[in-house]
Chains A and B, each alone.
Chain A
Amino acid sequence: MNESSDVKQIVRMQNVVKTYRQGKVEVHAVNDVSLKIESGDFAVLCGPSGSGKTSILNMIGGLDVVSSGKIWVDDIDLSSLNTTQLSEVRKNRIGFVFQAYNLIPVMTAYENAEFVLSLQGASKAECNERTMKILKAVGLEGLEHRRPDEMSGGQQQRVAIARAIVTNPAIVLADEPTANVDSHTAEALLDLMQQLNQEQGITFLFSSHDQHVIDRGRRIIQIHDGKVGADEKRS
């Protein structure tokens, strides 16, 4: 892995271990992982099911805690934060895209996209301006008033992407974002995220074993049995 001193490190993982207990058996989901994600990365954590990709993503996102080791996001040590402070970090610095879209069903596309901005306390005018801009960017102009059950899977995932990037987060964590859509839609979504990465410099970290995603990644981090295998950068 090449390191560049003038590129900001968005995520730093240092000797991170995550152990789950299944009955009396301890399972090492993540085993001594040290990793750095730089600003502007379009990185993919890939590996077979159960290799520890999602666990790594969850810990970076502050959704799960490390058993040992440390994680910094945007230079904030997550291990020193309580639940509310972790919520603040997620709200202000991290965007999430989930496999199952996970939109709020009673909200329209506009409201879902605006949701995190409103949690941040942004003014109505600012919310409106940024949300409309993002919805246009993800190709949902004209669908603002539709609820999730009135949209296709691809459209819902676009709303989820809009929700993830509307606050200009330091990093977007995308857990199997194309797993629930057809290959055509998957390509379109990846086009969109790649475009956002290239044009707006948004950092993406994916967890996926979908070849479409892996093919698009500019950095491929192989995870196997909870450990980092190869870490390859592509031009």
Chain B
Amino acid sequence: MNLNNLAWRNIWRNKRRTLITAFSIGFGIMLSVTFTGSGDYTYTNMIDMGASMGMGHVTVEPVGYHLKPSLDKRLTATAKLQQEILALPGVSGASVRITGQAMFASARKSVGGAFIAIDPAFETPDNNLLMRSLLEGSVFSNKSGRGMVIGSKLAKKLHVKIGKKIVYTTTDVHGEIVSDIARITGIFTTGIDMVDGMLALLPIGTVQQTLSYAPDQATLIAVLIKDQRHAELMRDEIAALPEAKDVAVLTWKKSQPDLAGVIAFDKAGNYISQFLVGLLIAVGILNTMLMSVLERKREFGVMVAVGMSPGTLFRLVMAESFWLAIIGLVLGIIITAPWYYFLYNTGIDLSGTVGSDFSYGGVLVDPTFKVRLFKESIVAILGGVFMLALLAGLYPAWRAGRVVPVESLKTI
């Protein structure tokens, strides 16, 4: 009889114990999938949301702009670079933008804020959160026109509505104070107070003229990529482009350090939770295997007495851990599949608890608890649990391999 066959039979000696242990592995997988899936979904959502707020997953900007933003630092020949970036596989959008601070003044009030100057031809609701969050009106269609889209809270502060004029004042490329006038074409509301209360979209052509920029000069190119996990890879590819000399290329982690910090902190908490789940699984398996080994001391003594080597006995108990892990994994997949399907497609609506405009790390978070697992997460969970089960079997297997036959044969 081969070792695997014997191990398989051995684990079914105590069916209840084996099933309890296998179910604990299964529920561990379910918990791990929930934690990891929630992380994969939420972090991706937050990163994509953050990227669509202005800076992209990858930001191309003048060297030093990130550390000390100033309108006199600018990119040149942005059109060529934008075309090169858009030609890269993995890139879903590249928008040339000018960002800066400004004073907005209506007939009744002046309020400090910031603007993002965009080319509407390259912006869509998919890649621009502010366009996606349009509450009323529309986005200007002419990049050299006088249109303007402002946040709902900023509009409220300025006591303005659609069609009203706003004067914005900023400093140009030479450091001179310059002003221009725009008419409100749309009002957005993202749910993030800071964004809604201070941000405005302006047409890039007009802003270039106001700031004395050349037509292809801007402060940044916001690059959106298809998969946020490849941000570092895309950064390197963009940095290697011929037109990307003398520019800085940053991932969202650098351009949005607050968001990166929040995600890193949350991930650390997630890892601790997963570690504790893993520990519980390991203790369960260790307990089962150790009990099983101690109960069979006499039998192991007989096996060694008739010629089984300690190494073979060690392998036998490890094979039992292996099968226990396999059963646990299969049960885990069976238990988790419908749960994952539900959370992936429907999720649990938490808006009653956290509100519908819950923001974290400066970005809006979907109040529906949903999951999404990346392939590598699936491999990590299943592989991790499997390895954990084998590791938990090491000590009992070592104990089994050290039985002294003459002592074991005395045990009842």
Interface residues of A (CB under 8 A from B): 58, 61, 63-64, 83-84, 87-88, 90-92, 95-96, 98, 102, 104-107, 111, 114-116, 118-120, 163-164
Q: Which residues of A contact B2 (CB under 8 A)?
A: 118
State the main secondary structure of chain B at its contact with A. Answer: helix
Contact A91 B310 (CB under 8 A): no
A90 to B409, CA, bound (A): 15
Closest-CB distance, A30 to chain B (whole angstroms): 13
Contact B308 A63 (CB under 8 A): no
Partner of A115, one of B1, B10, B13, B405: B1
- In the complex, the number of residue pairs spanning A and B with C-beta atoms less than 8 Å apart equals 66
Can you list 17 A-B pairs with a CB-CB distance of less than 8 A?
Answer: A84-B311, A88-B307, A90-B305, A90-B307, A91-B308, A95-B306, A96-B305, A98-B305, A98-B409, A102-B299, A104-B6, A106-B6, A107-B6, A114-B1, A115-B306, A116-B306, A163-B306
Closest-CB distance, B402 to chain A (whole angstroms): 9
Q: Which residues of B1-40 are within 8 A (CB) of A?
A: 1-2, 6, 9-10, 13
Given A63-B406, A88-B307, 4 other A-B residues pairs in contact with their CB atoms under 8 A: A98-B302, A102-B302, A118-B1, A120-B307
Q: Which residues of A contact B305 (CB under 8 A)?
A: 61, 63, 90, 96, 98, 102
Q: Which residues of B contact A104 (CB under 8 A)?
A: 6, 299, 302-303
Contact A87 B304 (CB under 8 A): yes
Contact A102 B308 (CB under 8 A): no
A196 to B405, CA, bound (A): 27
A90 to B302, CA, bound (A): 11
State the main secondary structure of chain A at its contact with B. Answer: helix
Question: Quick check: is B312 within 8 A (CB to CB) of the other chain?
Answer: yes
Question: How many B residues, CB 8 Å from partner?
Answer: 22
A44 to B295, CA, bound (A): 33
| Closest chain B residue, CB of each to CB of A58 | B406
| Closest chain A residue, CB of each to CB of B401 | A83
Q: Which residues of B285-325 are within 8 A (CB) of A?
A: 298-299, 302-312
Closest-CB distance, B270 to chain A (whole angstroms): 42
Q: Which residues of B contact A91 (CB under 8 A)?
A: 306-308
Most buried by B among A61, A64, A84, A87: A87
Partner of B306, one of A84, A90, A107, A111: A90
Contact A102 B298 (CB under 8 A): yes
Q: Which residues of A contact B6 (CB under 8 A)?
A: 104, 106-107
Contact B298 A119 (CB under 8 A): no
Q: Which residues of B182-212 are within 8 A (CB) of A?
A: none
